[in-house]
Amino acid sequence: MDSMSESFRMPLIGDDAPVFTAKTTMGDINFPADYKGKWVIFFSHPADFTPVCTTEFMTFATMQEELKKLNTELIGLSIDSIYAHIAWLRTIKDKIEYKGMKNVEVLFPLIEDLKMDVAKKFGMVQPNASTTQAVRAVFIIDPNSKVRAILYYPLTTGRNMEEIKRMIIAMQKSDSDGVATPANWVPGDDVIIPPPGSCGSAKERMESQEEGKYCLDWFMCFRKEK
């Protein structure tokens, strides 16, 4: 079996994140051991010196501090060399101005993956899209090194970074408060209380007068957050 036809089972939501070591623009990393206790946005991009990828890296770089406040780290990957990565990131800092962003320094690690070893472990190389580039994949990994969310974008479509940040906040809210978040939820919106497990508890739930709670039906109760 040649290297292009070699296949791996892509990690799914709830799985342990694949283990790897890699050379990056910020030094060697040992994943996930180096990131225990933190949330991680691990994302791939097709190639250096491409316009969509440039807008994504600039946007993520300008969000890095606000993500750190959410206990979240960024790791990027493409099937390019460290030398190409460094040259590209220097070009971004020295030459590119986009939507008011300029002199942007990318301070999160960008993995060199010339042999596609890491990309294959995460299903980032999809032959029907390209056999030589990683697609735009995003894996959100929690502090216990579990895969919590997976997003895939085609090569031509840039990612919505604010949506990725919203997902982090929503999952952290669910973990801390034992709630779910409804469609289009943003911080401060009301949250969903998990449905009851029996008819008796459903009746009690509808009749309870818990402050801040309201029900649209027995299975659909919310808690006010404001």
Q: Catalytic residues, which ones?
A: 53
Q: Which helix (H) or strand (E) holds 202?
A: helix 199-207
Amino acid code (one letter) for 178: G
- Residues 109 and 118: their CA atoms lie apart, in Å, by 14
**Secondary structure (DSSP) of 31-92:** ETGGGTTSEEEEEE-S-SS-HHHHHHHHHHHHHHHHHHTTTEEEEEEESS-HHHHHHHHHHH
Cα end-to-end span (Å), the chain: 58
Is 205 annotated among the ligand-binding residues? Answer: no
CB distance 140 to 148 below 8 Å? yes
* Residue among 161, 182, 158 nearest 170 (CA): 182
* Residue among 36, 39, 211 nearest 138 (CA): 39
Q: Which helix (H) or strand (E) holds 203?
A: helix 199-207
**Alpha helical stretches, state H, 107-191:** 117-121, 161-177
Binding site, annotated residues for substrate: 136
Binding site, annotated residues: 136
